[in-house]
Structures are given as structure tokens and as C-alpha cells.
Structure 1
Amino acid sequence: MYTTATAFLEALHEAGVSYIFANLGSDHPAIIESLARAKKENKELPTVITCPHEFVALSAAHGYAQATGEPQAVMVHVECGTQNLGGAVHNASRSRVPVLIFAGASPYTQEGELTGSRNEFIHWIQDVPDQRGIMRGYTKYDNEIRTGANVKQLVYRSLQIAKSDPTGPVYLMGPREAMEEETEPVTLDNELWEPISPGAIAPKQLEQLTNALVTAKNPLIVTSYLGRNTEAVEELVRLSEKLSIPVIESIPHQMNFPADHSMHLGSQWNTPGQNEQLAEADLVLVIDSDVPWIQMKNKPSDQATVYYLDVDPLKEEMPLWYIPSKQFLKADSHIALQQINQYIDDRCEVDLDMVSKRWEKFEDIHQKQMEEKRQVEQAKTDVITPEYLTACVREVIDEENTIVLNEGITNYGAISNHIGLNTPGSYYGSGAGSLGWNGGAAIGMKLAKSDKTIVSLTGDGSYLFSVPSTVHWMSNRYETPFLTVIYNNSGWKAPKMSTLGVHPRGVANETEGFWVNFDPAADLAKIAEAAGSAHPIKVEERSELKGILEEGLRIVQEGKSVVINVTIPHVYAKEEVDAGEQIPDLEAEVKK
């Protein structure tokens, strides 16, 4: 039999999908039968990765796409499995990750009229009025497979949309009867289903922007995810060096600009104070950044000219978003930077004296920042600070052969500022707001880049959100070892800081009533050991840290996952207040 399910799986393979991250259910008999038949006949199809939790399945596809740019497939069970994807759908949408999600659907016949008709009680319970509507706020495209006659066209169209900028998730669903239908094989030409070509800057706007950059006295570039195309990093470095333009990374979730470069001025997170360089800039070029600054805390001066360049410069899916800019340019950053660099070479007269003086100024600022970071890392204290922990990770990894994941949340800024990476493709964050991406993403990246060592830096809250039991079962079964380092402050510090940001002298601060502490402490690394035979290590002493990190890397490189649970300063507990310990002055702490 050649069914719709067979054609669907063939289409995925022909379109270049390597893996199906699957959580199968009662709606997938046709898929399972087609997979079994293909295995028996030695027919090549995408490799199925069994995922006991859907959130991890989509997070793994997310990580694979980040590392390669290639979308993979995620297969889930009707509307329940769709909903169990949870925040991973938000992550894929907001971070513009191409992925094809397929869900079955309850059968639409109940008396045996067609193969696949309802034969289990759950088929009535799981029948909902608008299953596709669950996903509609997060996907670029959704559709229902109704027949095998055009199923390949639907798959190709879905992937074409997913891979076209701005890239993102797409969703198909197929009832059992449609997937069981016998059909005729169809062959499609891949070249007729390519994603749309990346965009460039129009000539008039290119001239205006480039001349503004060349003549500006204090230009500045802000970016967050330009490094999703590793070739764009080289072009950004070229532009920065031509005109001595410093670069700030705002909430970076890629390696966008070398940390040791003289024009690199660090990264900013939920920065509570004004960034001096941002305030002094007379021209700010924002490239690939959803949140280049937080306007009520930290923004350019009212006199500064802002140019905004992105594949989605209007953020059409964000109901409230605006940054007053002279121009909003919809273009691919790599192509746009090539255009700007070529225009400068061919048509612009550069004031070399001004450029030279600017270089000296920002080189000095960069060196001072680096010195300050090292001082913070080596501050004399008995506790393991996030900065010291990140510095130790930086010192023990081989950057050329390592990918670092950052889901440190309240320690995100410490990690991004102190990890100090310089190699394109060596660093990733989720790019979004639903916690737990780190575990599945590590598996996906290891599948995509088997020659790399994957190091996941995560908070204890993000670790728990990642469904570590599923993550480490999968890591063990599919031989995708990676190192997890937990920045364990025994609680959710983010909600506390959010509350204090609005009510710095409120009752919650007075009583230390935030409901965010994870006390009594859990042995988080043991979860990974029980579920996936990972090697658990707990670290509380500063003097032990570096040696244990080295040991953990060695074990991972030998083929076994390691989870290092590192105790860092606790979120302030209610018991500390009762004991008479003074609650720190938040404003002073934040300024520090």
C-alpha cells in the first residue's frame, strides 16, 4: 500500500528533513505502519527520535535549526500533544526558527466508513472545534491534510514558508482517514519550492544610510542575532573596522561580534542604568534586534538618528512595539552589510583622521571594560559568583570546538559578558521567553554538530523547566552527550527582580515575601543520573570549581552527559530576614 502517510514521509525526506522528533499517539497508525514498512524495505526516510515530552521535541528541533539553518519535523498527538508543545512554540516563533510541526487529528467517521475510523473512546474526547487555532498565533502557516493527492505539495509549501524570512514554525494536521488513504506516488522538483530570496537595501536608502554612517561623529551599532548567519559576522567586523564603529550586543542570542575585538563594548540585558555609549551616539544602526534597548531605562538621546534594519523591521506579530527610526529597512543583514561595505569602498570619502581618533577612544574603553570584568571575576570572596563561574567555563573550553548555550536568565548578562567568545556559531540563547529550551536544544545541536562539545549554562529554574528526565533519557538513548552547568541560586530570582523593579520599597521587599525560593534544595543533577545515566556532580566550594569543570568536560568527550550543580549566592530567603540580616538596598545593588 502507498498511502498519504507514506507520501508525507517521503516528502519530508525529499525536502531535506533529517530528523522527526516524535511523540506518537492513537492518531498515527498510518505513520507508524509506513515507517515500519520503510524499515523492512530499507527505504531511506528521516530518522525518528522518540521524545517522551513534546516540549523537548520542539526544543531539539529548535536547536538543530539554530545550528544549521535547516528545519526539522516534530510529530505530536492531536490537540493534546499540540498543547503540550507549550512554550516551545513561543520560542520557535519569537526566535524565528524554521520547523514543521505535524499533528494527527481525531477521526471524522465513527461507523467504520473509512480505514482509520473511530475505534477508541479518546477519539471523541480529543475532538475539538479548532485544533489549528491553538497554533495560529505562533505559526507562519497552518493547514489540514485532506487527501494524499496533494500531500507532497502541502509539505513543500509548508517548508518553503518556514524557510523564507522571517523564518518560523509551520503546522500541518491530518486525520487518520486522510493519512490512511491509498494514493498515487508524485515526484516534485525541489528547485520549484525554494524559499524566497533574501532582501537587499534599495539604492536610495543604501546611499542615505551609508553616507550617514560615514559622516557621523559618534556612530554605534546595536545587534542581538546578526550571527544567525555566521557569514554576516565577518561583514559586521569589516564595517566596524572601516569606520571605527563600536558594537553593543543587546540580549545576544548568537555570537554576533568577537568579544576580544577593540570595537566590542559588551552586552546589555535588562540594563537599569543608561549606557553611556548609547547616550552619546549621534547615529545608531540597529541590525537584527527585537529589543535593542529598554526605553524607560536606557535609550539613545532624542537628538540621535536611528536606522533600523531587520528581516522583520515592523515586528508585525508584536501588538505593542515601536522605536522611532528615520528608516525601517527590510533586508537580510548579511546582504545589507555587503552592500554598505562595497558602497563605502566605491563611493565614499572617509575622514581617516576622525576614524583613527575614534578607534583610539573605543579601544581604550574596550580595554577598561575587559579589565573591569577580570576584576569582578577575581573578586575576593568565598562564594562562587556567576561571573567567576562563567570565567572558569571560558578558561576550560576549547572555543573552536565548543558550542555554548546560555539560559541563565537573571545570570544571562553575566554569562554573555564574561563568556568572551569570538568564533561565529559558538554561542546561542533561545531568543525568546519560555524557559527550558536549553536541554532539548543541546540534543538538537549535538545531532547537528556531532564533532562539537555542547556546554549548556542554565539557571536551576530553567533546568527544571527543560523536563530534564526526558532530556537525559533522550541524550542517553541517542548518544548525544553534553555538559550542563547549573547556576543554582535556589529559586526564581527573575520574578523577585521584576517585583522590585515596580515596587522597590513595597511590602514584598519589606517582608521578603516573593514565593520564589526552591527550599528545601533538590539534588538536581541526580534527576539526570536516574533518567539517563548522566554523571552528577555537586559543587559548593570555589576552590574545587575549575578542576571539576575540567573533569566534566573530559567525561562528556568520552561519551557521557554530565550535570554539574553549582551553588551560587541564594535568592534572599525569608529565614535570613527573620534572623536579622539586613535586606540590601536594591537601588545601590543594581547600580553596582
Structure 2
Amino acid sequence: MGQRPGRRAGDAVVAAMGLGGVDYMFFNSGSEIMFMQEAIAKANALGRPAPKLVMMTHEYPTLNAGLGYAAATGRMAATAVHVDVGTQHYGCAVHTARHSGLPVLITAGAPPVSYPGSMRGARDGSHFWVQQTADQAGIVRQYMKWDHRLEFQDNPGMVVSRAIQVARSEPRGPVYLVLPREIAFLPSDGERFPTAQQLGITRPPAPDPDAIRDLADRLVKARNPAIVVQRSGRKAATVPALVRLAEILGAPIGEAAARSYQCFPMDHPLYQSIHLDLAKADVVVVIECDVPWIPGPQQPGRDAFVAVVDIDPVKAHIGTYEFGADLRIMADTEITLLELLRAVEQLADTSDRTRFADRTARWAEVSRERYVRSVKAAEAEANQSPISPLWLSHQIGQAMDDNCLMVDETLMLSPLPPYLRFSEPGTYFRNPGSGGGWCAGAALGARRQDRPAEQGCDRGQRRRLLHVFGGQRGNHLGGALQGAVHVGDLSESQLQHRHQGDRPVLSRRLCGPGWARGRLLRSADGLCEGSRGRRCLRRKRQRSGRGRPGPQAWAAADP
């Protein structure tokens, strides 16, 4: 049991975070949560465990920074904001947190309701009356794994440890804790509480042995197996395990309808990115995917055997879900891949391994030809002005190496994917939700990751970081950038490079004609495809005072 090291309940809140493995708190101050700053300063002065405080200027990048840190490190982060209004300013970052599979402790203060002068922390400002809500946690409850309002009778340290236990146990996810001001100021000395580790973090479950034998047998006999991934890369150890399995089978690796993490080396001969046609596959293994494919001509055929590996294989948080599967394995991905690899190695004979090698060679040639075509397409547009998105994407791909992190918020049909060649696990991250404006805050959190010593760098060396965004999501970035990485106003300069200490950050917005055309093609009634629609768009640009139309307007105006 951990002892409460302080005189106030707020000290126990901070102590439980430090003891529970929370490294950073991304913090927006408010009149009811200033106790957090004092408690962390006190813990630092006394040499006691506490998260490091990172002051933020807006709540939206605050939560995204916590998600970025958790994604890059696999460790837990915390956030703190001001009452219900700060909670609402988290915005669609709450949606992103829900779909990230990452452990984040989301906290917010609550206005005191104690009669003025009756106790420390009681009402002493007019805003406290109007900040009361019937159910503050209800603002975000449907996106959380767990929520709680700290009450008078609670043991504050135990409540925080419980929140951490739930967030860090699979399936991992966000939790929300409301901290009323007068409760945080309650005097207390010497009370004890269990840490999150003492409460017990769940260990990852192993797969059913019969399911592994069945799937391994089908993979060995398959003529054209395929593997689809989306989120397994949030745990870096799954990447080498998947590489070994794919290589022995000669099975291509394709991205799901929306990628979230780097699940497989992008320069590997078996990597097919978003170009894998599942209609030709007879066995499909889906690993940690919310939407494994878009229903249509490239989905698996009726006779294909589909197996799903996931800690949540039925996606209980998605209301309607029409993706069928013949086998759903609820288990940890890394353990499942290792067990599956062992079973395949036992079943495959010499003739099987010859087939696997031939299949590997065929897919390697497909990958090589596709990359050569992509490079030639980019080189053909090298001298265009303004710069061609293909040429820019090619140059970005050439500049990136394993000493870089990329935080990507471009749309799935952006020109970037064919040119990315990241090979090291944990070097590429993409928005795990569908809310725009994630990348700037996520970049701030991700760049607080020290590069591990086992990767060949001295402790403390920082990776270069690129965050890139585009399309509709770029419209959300103004405030997020100013609140997160302070790289300035993108409307004046779309390409900026700043060094903050030893952490270089490059920000790039991709938003050109391709996005505009894509939007026009999706128009419900086709109005924008006609001359009337083009005239309307021109007039709208002129009324806005922007003068000569930019790339998006020209895309719509050209016949």
C-alpha cells in the first residue's frame, strides 16, 4: 500500500499518478485545479513520484498530446482541464481517444458547491455558480472506459489508481475523473492507498489452442493467403512477429480501410499498403482492424475463410457491424502471432516452403514494380509549379529515415503512402479516429519520447519529427498548431521549420486540387460538376476577399 505523502487530498491524487506510471500531465490551468500545480511542485521538491507538468494553451491539443505520447511510448499520460467548459474544449479529441486503444487519464476540475467561507476551496467567484452541471462526466461518458467524480468519502489515491488500472488493462482506452476543488483541498495526513500495480493490471490473454491449430492448418494449405492490419503496431513487438509469420508464408500484408499505426515495415517486399485486392484471397487474417475493408469488388469472396485476431474481435463499441468472419480469436496479438508462427513451422513441409518462397518472390516483384511506377510518376512532375503533390510526397519519403517520426493526418487517398519507407517500429503514426486537427498536439506529445538505447542512440537523443496534414482536416489546424507546437500561422507560411532545443519539428500541409476533385466527385446531386457550381465557387472565393483562386478553387473552375 502506498502512503499518502502530503497534507491534502490533492497530494494523493498526484502521488497515485506518479506511482501508477503516469510520466506526463498535459495541463490547462483553472481556478479549481491549481492544486495540481502545487502538489506536483511539492512532490518534486521532496523527491517523490509525480508526473512532469507540461503547460498547454488549449484543451484540444492537450488531449491529443497525451495520445501522441502514449502512442510513441506505450506508456500512460494524463491531462487536466478547467471544469465543464474545458471538457467541452477537448472537442473531437475525445472521439480520437475512444478509438485509439491508448491509456490516457483525462481529468477535469469541478466547481465547488460548498457555502462561501465554510471550508477551504469553497465558492469565492461568480463563475462557480454557473459552472455547475447535472452530470459533468456525461459530456464524455459514451467515449470512456470508466468515469468517476471524486467524492468526500473517497480515498483519492485509490480512485486514481483504479482509473489507471482500468485504462492500462486491455482493451486499453481513456478514463475520465472529475476533481471538485473543495475535495482536493480536504486535509488529510498519513492515509494509505493501493497503487495501480497493487490493484493489478491485466496480463494479455493467450489465444485458444484449437483456434491456432485450425488457422495454421488453413494458412499452410492456402493458395493465396492475405493479412490485413490497422492497429497492431501500437505494440512495437508485434511488428517483428508479423514479419516472421508473413515471410514464412509468403503472405502479403495490406492496410485496412484506415491505417492507425505502423504495423509492418513499409519497405518490405511483402508490404502492399492499401493496394491489396482481397477478392483473390482464399484465407484472410484480419489483425486489430475496425474496418478491415470497404465492402465492394475488392472485399474477400464468399468462399474465403476470414479469421479475426483482436483483443475485442466483435467491436462491441460499434453499433452496427456487418463484417463477417469464420473465426474470431480474442487474444493478445503478439502472443497469437508467435503461437501461430510456431504452429505453421510445425505443419509446413519442404514442398510447402517451396510454395511459400515462390509466392514471396511474386509479391516482391509486385511491390518493386509498383514503387518504380510511383517514382516515375513523381519524377515526371518534378518541375511543375506550384509544386506537384506527387513530387513533394516523393521528396518527403526520401528525406525520412529511422531517426524520424512521422505524425500523419492526410486522407487515405493522399499521394503520400506509396513513397513512405519507414522500417523501424514506432516511427509512423496516423490519426486513429476521424476527427481533424489531431496531428499538431500528437506531435508535441510524441516528441517527448526519448529514443530507446537499444535502438543504437544515446539516451536523450531526440528524433526529428514531421507532422503532415491535408484535405478537410487541415481546416481544424489553426488553433491546434498555435496551442501545441507554436509554429505560426499556416495561412502565411505553409512550410515551417523550428528547432525547440534539440527537437526539430517540420510541419507540412497537403491540400491541393486532388482533394477538391475528390470532394466534388462525392457531391450528392452533382451540382458542383456543372457550370453553375463552378460560378458559385468563384463568387464565394471573391466575396471572401481572397482574390485569385487557390488550388482548390482552380480544381473546381477548370472544365
**Other-structure match for 1:363:** 364
- Paired with 2:34 and 2:538, the residues of 1 have a C-alpha distance of 45
Give the C-alpha shift of residue 296 in structure 1: 3.7
**Residues 51 and 470, structure 1, Cα contact 8 Å, conserved in 2:** yes
**Which residue matches 2:551?**
570
Q: Does 1:377 align with 2:378?
A: yes
Q: Could you tell me which of 134, 148, 156 is aligned with 1:151?
A: 156
After TM superposition, list the pairs within 5 Å mapping 1:383-402 onto structure 2. Answer: 383=385, 384-397=387-400, 399-402=401-404
- What is the aligned partner in structure 2 of residue 408 from structure 1? 410
Q: Distance in 1 between matches of 2:36 and 2:266?
A: 47
Task: Show the counterpart of 2:291.
Answer: 291
**Is residue 213 of structure 1 aligned with residue 219 of structure 2?**
yes
Alpha-carbon distance in 2 for matches of 1:410, 1:252: 8
Task: Give the C-alpha shift of residue 463 in structure 1.
Answer: 4.5
Please state how far the C-alpha of 1:416 moved relative to its aligned partner: 2.2
| Pairwise CA distance, 1:359 | 2.3
Amino acid at match of 1:145: L
- Residue 308 (structure 1) aligns with: 308
Whether 1:258 aligns to 2:252 is: no
Deviations 1:295-320 (A, max 9, x none): 04631112211111111111111112
Q: Assess, with a 3 A threshold, how the Cα gap between structure 1 residues 297 and 154 changes in structure 2: closer, same or farther.
A: farther
CA distance in 1 between counterparts of 2:295 and 2:430 reads 23
Q: How far apart are 1:419 and its partner, in Å?
A: 1.2
Question: What pairs up with 1:42-81 in 2 under 5 angstroms?
Answer: 43-81=48-86
Label 1:120 to 1:342 Cα distance change in 2 as closer, same or farther (>3 A): same
Matching residue of 2:458:
none
Superposed CA offset, 1:366-397 (max 9, x none): 22212222122212461423222121112223
Residues 303-345 of structure 1: CA distance to partner in whole angstroms, max 9, x if unpaired?
2111111111111111122311101111111110000011122
**Do the aligned partners of residues 424 and 410 (structure 1) sit closer, same or farther apart at CA in structure 2, a change above 3 Å counting?**
closer
Distance 1:480 1:148 in 2: 45
**Matched residues in 1 for 2:63 and 2:296: separation?**
34
TM-superposed CA distance for 1:478, in Å, is 8.1
Q: CA deviation at 1:2?
A: 0.8
Counterpart in the other structure of 1:557: none
- 3-state SS of the aligned residue for 1:178? helix
Could you tell me how far 1:515 is from its partner in structure 2? 10
Is 1:507 matched with 2:527?
A: yes
Q: Is the 8 A contact 1:252 1:416 kept in 2?
A: no
Distance in 1 between residues matched to 2:502 and 2:10, nearest whole Å: 28
State the Cα distance separating 1:99 from its structure 2 match. Answer: 0.3
CA distance in 2, matches of 1:569, 1:423: 38
Higher deviation after alignment, 226-235 or 373-382: 373-382
Q: 1:218 to 1:514 in 2, by over 3 A?
A: farther
Identity of aligned residues (%): 28
Q: Matches of 1:10 and 1:431 in 2, distance apart? A: 31
1:58 CA displacement: 0.6
* Residue in structure 2 matched with residue 493 of structure 1 by the alignment: 515
1:438 is aligned to: 439
Unaligned runs of 5+ in 1: 269-274, 523-567, 583-592
Query: What pairs up with 1:412-491 in 2 under 5 angstroms?
Result: 412=414, 414-449=415-450, 451-459=462-470, 461-466=472-477, 467-473=480-486, 480-489=503-512
SS of equivalent residue, structure 1 residue 59: helix
Residue 249 of structure 2 is matched in structure 1 by 243
1:546 matched to which residue of 2?
Answer: none
- 8 A Cα contact 1:307 1:327, kept in partner: yes
State whether residues 162 and 196 of structure 2, in contact with CA within 8 Å, keep that contact through their aligned partners in structure 1: no
Q: Distance in 2 between matches of 1:509 and 1:168?
A: 43
Q: Following TM superposition, by how much is the alpha carbon of 1:363 offset from its aligned partner in structure 2, in angstroms?
A: 2.2
Q: Distance in 2 between matches of 1:15 and 1:302?
A: 48
Report what 1:589 is aligned to. Answer: none
State yes or no: 1:196 paired with 2:177: no
Cα RMSD, aligned residues only: 2.7
Query: Which residue does 1:547 correspond to in 2?
Result: none
Aligned match of 2:457: none
Q: Which moved more, 1:39-48 or 1:82-91?
A: 39-48
Does structure 2 retain, via aligned residues, the 8 Å contact 1:378–1:388?
A: yes
Measured after TM superposition, the shift of residue 360 of structure 1 is 2.9
The more displaced of 179-188 and 94-103 is 179-188
- Residue aligned with 2:157, SS: helix
Corresponding residue for residue 168 of structure 1: 173
Whether the 8 Å contact between 1:149 and 1:183 is mirrored in structure 2 is no
Q: Distance in 2 between matches of 1:485 and 1:54?
A: 22
Task: Pick closer, same or farther for the CA change 1:246–1:125 going to 2, 3 Å.
Answer: same
Runs (5+) with no aligned partner, structure 2 = 1-5, 451-460, 488-497
What are the superposed Cα offsets for residues 472-522 of structure 1, whole Å, 9 maximum, x if unpaired? 3499888754111221428x937x73563363x621322145799988799
TM-score, normalisation: structure 1: 0.82
User: Does structure 1 residue 322 correspond to structure 2 residue 326?
Assistant: no
| Bigger mean CA offset, 254-263 vs 351-360 | 351-360
More off after superposition, 70-79 vs 176-185: 176-185
- Deviation of the 1:411 alpha carbon: 5.2
- 1:40 Cα deviation from its structure 2 partner: 5.3
Distance 1:121 1:515 in 2: 49
1:2-44 deviation digits (Å, cap 9, x = unpaired): 1110110111111121211111112124334434444555655
